[in-house]
Structure 1
Amino acid sequence: MRKNKFKLNIGSILEAEEGAHVEFDIDASLKLDDKNEIPLTAAVQVMKLQHEVNVTAKKFTAETSVICSRCIKKFKQKISIKLIERQFLFERPRVVEDADDLYLVDMKNATIDIAELFRQELLLHFPLIPLCSLKCKGLCAVCGKNLNLGDCGHNHDVDISSIETQKPLLKLKELFKQSQNGKTTDKQTKSSTKPNQKKI
């Protein structure tokens, strides 16, 4: 069984006086969902306070695969967070305003699990509009070619009145299907008409 590097034994901190702390580096992969694991590194400090332990993570960096919103190419996106800080309480409070932001110390086993803390921070810092490059030229609105790989010869200053006839999103739809299915499909859907039936 693989050791959980995000589950920390803090027994020595709990037995020490207030203000006692430990520092260490984390270099591990965090399971973001059922399919994806993200490698990350961070400098972590755990400090004992009066009613909780304070956890800070500095120099947090992670790398994940995302799809460019312009050219739909998969690329590696680096995520950097200067400071992450949360308190892990010794006891559960009577009133909990936000259960998703509540972290508790496992007093029975003298451990804390910082995996969920890192997971939430990663989701909060995911780019809303991923770009492989600020200079990404995207796809041709006419043929769907990735313009970063070269010019296709089409006029990219498309007149609005011609959009209906050129149907620029049709090629994008095909490319999206290819990326989902992993297959190339150039078949066109044929429409069939039913014969008119006379009402009796």
Structure 2
Amino acid sequence: MQLFFRKVATSDGPFPIRESLNVSELVDDRADVTAVSPLETDLVAVSLGQGSMSVEGKLTAGLDMLCSRCLSPMHEDLKIEFRERFKQTSSSSVEEEDEDGDFIAVTEDSFDIAPYCEELFVLHVPFAPVCSEDCQGIAPAAGQDWSLGSDDSNDGDTEKIDPRLAGLKDFFK
């Protein structure tokens, strides 16, 4: 997604940027992400004058994930606000130009905006997704979701006896 300073500066009004980015390789190392839809960009670039521009809009993507508590499949829709400001600078003045950090310095007339979108996507992928706020997770003894087990298996009143020691239960009678 190449963006040109000259093209944005000479456009009449806002310059729209609508593309789809394949971001599946960004979450390949995540075992809890089973599928990801393309990252849809709905951005608008506006020239601010003096070789600078503002890019604002929304990024959207869908994730199929596994709940971190009960491992049940779930779907997460990401809606991300994008707001960055870029400034065209010479390579010698990159360090001294913007002390406040308001602008991202760009040394060429064109630059790729995709890495900035991808970075924001990765930062918004949930670290430990939960299917619902009241998800109880997996019962350790039964090995299944707490909500799926019967009341008898979850109450903890039944005492399991090691079969090797079963003969000792009649010892004190």
Length-normalised TM-score, structure 2: 0.64
Is 1:94 aligned to residue 95 of structure 2? yes
Per the alignment, do residues 105 and 31 of structure 1 end up closer, same or farther by CA in structure 2, a change over 3 Å counting? farther
Give percent identity, aligned residues only. Answer: 21
Aligned to 1:67: 66
Structure 1 runs not aligned, ≥5 long: 1-5, 166-200
Q: Please report how far the alpha carbon of residue 112 of structure 1 lies from its aligned counterpart in structure 2 after TM superposition.
A: 2.6
Q: Which residue of 2 aligns with 1:115?
A: 114
Q: Which residue of 2, 26, 31 corresponds with 1:7?
A: 2
Distance 1:34 1:143, change over 3 A: closer
Partner of 1:47: 46
Q: Secondary structure at the match of 2:135?
A: coil
Is this contact kept in 2: 1:66–1:130, CA < 8 A?
A: yes
Post-superposition Cα deviations, 1:99-126, rounded to whole Å, max 9, x if no partner, equal 9x9452631xxx3312111122122222
Residue identity matched to 1:23: P
Deviation at 1:140, TM superposition (A): 1.0
Classify 1:146/1:24 alpha carbon distance in 2 versus 1 (closer, same or farther; 3 Å): same
- Contact kept, 8 Å, 1:39 with 1:62, in 2: the verdict is yes
Higher relative contact order (CA 8 A, sep 6+): 2
Give the 3-state SS of the residue equivalent to 2:65 in structure 1: strand
Does 2:83 align with 1:85? yes
Q: TM-score, normalised by structure 1?
A: 0.57
The size of the alignment, in residue pairs, is 146
Q: Which residue of 1 aligns with 2:23?
A: 30
Task: Name whichever structure is richer in strand by fraction.
Answer: 2
